[in-house]
Structure 1
Amino acid sequence: MIVSSTEVQNNFGKYLQLAAQEEVIITRNGTEIARLQSMKDHPTKEVIWDSSVKESVEQYHFKGRKASYEEFLELTRDMENRYEYIDGEIYLLASPKTAHQYAVTKLFGLFFNTFQDECMPFVAPYDISLKRPNRKDPNVVQPDLMVICDLDDHINEQDYYMGVPSLVVEVLSESTRSKDMVKKLDLYMESGVKEYWIVNPFNRDVTIYYFEKNEVSETNTFKYPETAKSFLFENVTVELEKIFK
C-alpha cells in the first residue's frame, strides 16, 4: 500500500493497524520517504517507520532516532494525537486511565480554588516549550497540570504561551513513569521551573521537588493519607485522601 505523508499524519492509528497486515509505503510529493512495516516475529511487537521513528504498540510510546525540531513540527502538524519532544526524541502520549484522570481532576479543582488572579492552573493538552541552557532547540511537553503566574507577559501572536510555568505536576502512568521521573525531572530543573510534583497513583504518594539555580534545593515525599505541602506556595496544601481513589 502506498499513501501520502499527509494521509498518514491525519490517520496514523488507522495505518498503524494496517501495517500489521501489509507494508505501508509513505510518500511526500510523489517520492517514497518511509515505510510502516510489521515485525511479527519481534518479541516486542514493534512497528518500524523507516527505521527512524518507532512506536511500541504495547506501551503506545512513539520514539526513535534523534529528530530535529523542524522534523517534529512537520510530523505532528495538524495531528489529533498528543506528542512531546524531549531532547530530540518524539513521544506519542497514551490515553490516560481512570486513576490518572481522577488525580488530575481532583488536583485541578483544588488548585483552581486555591489560586487567585495572580496565578492560573492549566491542564493538558497544552503545549509548553522549554529550553535547556546552551541548547538551541526547545523541548515541547504537555504536563498533566501546571500553574502559570506570568501568562499575560508571554503570549505570542498565535496565542501560545511561551514562558515557564512556576509549578508543574505529572501524574505517573505505566507508560510514562520513567520519563516523568528522570527525563522530565531533569528538563524542568534546567529550564527554570521552580517546583515539580510527581504524583504516583500506584503507591499513592506525592514527591515534590523545589529548584533553585537549576538544581534541586529541597525535596519531600508525602504518603497517603498525609497532606502534601508546596515549598513555593505557602497556601497550597493537598490532602492525599482527596486525590487518590
Structure 2
Amino acid sequence: MKNIKPYPTEEELPPIKTLNEVDFSATYSYADYMRFEFEERLEIIKGHLFKMSPVPSRIHQGISANIFVPIYNILKGKPCRVYSAPFDVRLAKKSVNDKEVFTVVQPDIVVVCDPAKLDNRGCIGAPDIVIEILSPGNNKKELINKYEVYEEAGVKEYWIISPSHKTFFRYILDNNGKFQPTKLLTEGEEVTTKIIPGFKLVLEEVFQD
C-alpha cells in the first residue's frame, strides 16, 4: 500500500520569501504573518493584508520621537510601558492561538499598562493607548478598519496625528465600549490623559522641526 504523506501543518509550511508570493485576496492569520521573510512591511486587519508605508520620512520620525520621549520619561519606574514601531500588536477575538489571530498591526507608538499582555513577540491584546502618525501611504479603508478593530479590542485611547496639518485628534473609549471623538487640537495646545497621570504633551514641541 502506497504511503500517503499527510498535508503539512501550518508550522511545517515553507517561509514566504518574497512579496510576489503573497495573495492579497486571501485571508491571513498571525501564523501566516510569522512566515513572511521579505523586507516589505505588512499589517493584517481582520484577515486582510495591507501594505505599510515605506520607511517613514524624517518629519514622521521626528514627530514620533517628540511623542515617545516624554511618555518614556514619565513612565520610568511605573508599570505602564511605551513601545515604538516596529512592534507587533496582536488583537485576538476568540483565541490567542497564532492560527486564530487575524489582526496584527504595528502602530507608531503604543502604551501598555498590563504586563500580562506583553511577550517576546510584542503585545497580545489591546494596548491602553494607540498612536498613529499619518503618512502619505495611509488610505481611508485602512484607517476605518483600524478604528473598528481598536474599538472592538477595547483600546482606551486612539490618537491620530497629522504631520501635514499639524493636528492631534483622539478617540476615547466610553463605558459602553464605543469610541467618542474629542476636540481637534493643534499647535499652541496641550494634551493630557487619565491613563498617564501628570503627563502633558505640548503640541508646539511635537510639531517643531
**Same fold per superposition (TM over 0.5):** yes
RMSD over aligned CA atoms reads 2.8
| Shift, 1:235, TM fit | 2.0
Query: Relative to structure 1, is the Cα distance of residues 109 and 168 closer, same or farther in structure 2, using a 3 angstrom cutoff?
Result: same
Give the structure 1 partner of residue 138 of structure 2: 176
Give the TM-score taking structure 1 as reference length: 0.67
Shift of 1:130: 0.6
| 1:195 corresponds to 2:202 | no
CA drift of 1:214 comes to 2.2
Which residue of the other structure, out of 181, 188, 208, is the alignment partner of 2:170?
208
Q: Pairwise mapping of residues 215-234 of structure 1 onto structure 2 (< 5 A)?
A: 215-217=178-180, 219-234=182-197
Structure 2 equivalent of residue 100 of structure 1: 60
| TM-score normalised according to structure 2 size | 0.77
Stretch moving more, 138-147 or 107-116: 107-116
Q: After TM superposition, list the pairs within 5 Å mapping 1:25-174 onto structure 2.
A: 52-53=23-24, 65-69=25-29, 72-73=32-33, 76-93=35-52, 94-116=54-76, 117-132=78-93, 137-151=101-115, 153-156=116-119, 159-174=121-136
Contact 1:206 1:221 survives alignment (8 Å): yes
Secondary structure (helix, strand or coil) at the match of 2:184 reads strand
Aligned length: 189
Q: Secondary structure at the match of 1:232?
A: coil
Task: State the identity as a percent.
Answer: 25
**Structure 1 residue 77: Cα displacement:** 2.6
Q: Distance in 2 between matches of 1:202 and 1:209?
A: 20
CA displacement at 1:147 relative to structure 2: 0.4
Superposition map of 1:13-32 within 5 A = none
Higher strand share: 1
Describe the shift of the 1:230–1:220 C-alpha distance in structure 2 as closer, same or farther (beyond 3 A).
farther
AA aligned opposite 1:166: D
- Counterparts of 1:188 and 1:227, CA distance in 2: 24
Any idea what SS the aligned residue of 1:187 has?
Answer: helix
CA distance in structure 2 between the partners assigned to 1:211 and 1:237 by the alignment: 20
Deviations 1:37-95 (A, max 9, x none): xxxxxxxxxxxx7xx42xxxxxxxxxxx2413278436x43333322000221122122
What residue ranges of structure 1 are gaps of 5+ in the alignment?
17-25, 27-48, 54-64
* CA spacing shift, 1:110–1:70, aligned 2, 3 Å: closer
| Contact 2:92–2:124 (CA under 8 A) maintained in structure 1 | no
The Cα offsets for residues 125-161 of structure 1, whole Å up to 9 and x where unpaired, read as 0111013579x5430000100001112x2345x5543
Determine if contact 1:180/1:198 at 8 Å carries over to the other structure: no
Contact 2:188–2:204 (8 Å) recurs in 1: yes
User: What secondary structure is seen at the aligned counterpart in 2 of 1:207?
Assistant: strand
